[in-house]
């Protein structure tokens, strides 16, 4: 999951060169909904037979994890480097942990807190390319948009925890994509639309829809069911590491020693956080 989500940074960067934020996100989830909804319907013939309360819960998932998160994600990655944006998105597990502690009174044990700090420090080391001070040299609008990602993702994760009491991960992801896609369409219509779209951009959107959404969103909620919201979210710390390593592989960049050191810190932090 973390590996494939790392690739979404590169795919989103490609898509944002052609599409406006709402439009790019709409096509991502149009593709995802076109696969998820029929699949969920086939697995559960009562997919569309839901109560008003369930629809409200699904709409909250779509509004936070699909509509708001992806607007911030697409908009932010148009304004800041991928590496910088990846650090701010790496705050996802920290935000989930804090929201969960506030909402459910979950205790933050010493080892869990230490693991989170270790993993986040590793992420900062990797994407700052060894210069931690450069992360805080200036705060821009792009930073503000990227900071919207962990806030909305934390709400999506904890709202999903409630929804998964009466829905499967597949059904919850399908309804979230469906409701979120409808919201994105309303805002995408007024945006400027390109007259010509390259095959690379469509391939990037297909990756975002099929791999980054259909596969990863279902896996993510399966993790929430099996090991809990906080322990699942901490694996997001691996996402920026994979994003950087894949960019190195694709762009043939040299891998410095601090990259390996930071990756080791992230993996160590994930292990420490998930200790029973």
pTM: 0.80
pLDDT > 90? residue 97? no
Distance of alpha carbon 148 from alpha carbon 166, whole angstroms: 28
Length of the chain equals 276
Number of C-beta neighbours around residue 75 at 10 A: 22
% the chain with pLDDT above 90? 29
What are the residue boundaries of the structural domains of the chain, listed by start?
Answer: 2-273
Mean pLDDT (the chain) is: 83
Contact 184, 25 (CB under 8 A): yes
State residue 274's pLDDT score.
65
Number of C-beta neighbours around residue 251 at 10 A: 8
State residue 21's pLDDT score.
92
Range of lowest pLDDT (10-14, 87-91, 135-139, 191-195): 135-139
pLDDT > 90? residue 178? yes
**Angle subtended by helix axes 69-77 and 82-89, to nearest 10:** 150
State residue 207's pLDDT score.
94
pLDDT > 60? residue 253? no
Distance of alpha carbon 107 from alpha carbon 254, whole angstroms: 42
Distance of alpha carbon 175 from alpha carbon 179, whole angstroms: 6
Each residue's pLDDT tens digit, 214-248 = 888 788 878 877 877 767 776 777 777 787 777 77
More confident residue, 209 or 119: 209
76-81 long-range contacts, CB within 8 A, separation 24+: 76/142, 76/143, 76/145, 76/146, 76/148, 76/149, 77/9, 77/12, 77/13, 77/16, 77/146, 78/16, 78/21, 78/142, 79/140, 79/141, 79/142, 79/145, 80/140, 80/142, 80/143, 80/146
């Amino acid at each position: 999951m973390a590996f494939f989500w790392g690739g979404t940074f590169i795919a989103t960067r490609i898509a944002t060169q052609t599409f406006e934020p709402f439009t790019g996100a709409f096509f991502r989830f149009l593709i995802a909904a076109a696969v998820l909804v029929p699949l969920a319907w086939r697995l559960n013939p009562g997919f569309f037979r839901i109560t008003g309360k369930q629809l409200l819960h699904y709409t909250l998932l779509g509004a936070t994890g699909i509509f708001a998160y992806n607007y911030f994600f697409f908009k932010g990655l148009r304004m800041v480097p991928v590496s910088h944006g990846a650090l701010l998105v790496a705050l996802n597990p920290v935000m989930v942990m804090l929201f969960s502690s506030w909402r459910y009174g979950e205790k933050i044990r010493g080892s869990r807190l230490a693991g989170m700090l270790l993993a986040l420090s590793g992420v900062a080391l990797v994407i700052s390319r060894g210069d931690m001070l450069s992360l805080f040299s200036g705060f821009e609008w792009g930073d503000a948009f990227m900071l919207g990602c962990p806030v909305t993702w934390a709400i999506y994760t904890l709202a999903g925890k409630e929804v998964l009491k009466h829905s499967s991960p597949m059904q919850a992801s399908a309804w979230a994509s469906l409701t979120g896609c409808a919201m994105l369409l309303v805002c995408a219509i007024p945006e400027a639309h390109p007259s010509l779209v390259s095959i690379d951009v469509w391939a990037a959107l297909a990756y975002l829809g099929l791999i980054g959404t259909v596969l990863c969103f279902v896996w993510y909620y399966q993790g929430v069911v099996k090991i809990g919201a906080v322990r699942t979210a901490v694996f997001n710390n691996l996402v920026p590491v994979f994003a950087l390593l894949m960019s190195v592989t694709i762009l043939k960049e040299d891998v410095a020693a601090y990259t390996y050191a930071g990756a080791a810190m992230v993996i160590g932090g994930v292990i420490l956080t998930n200790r029973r």
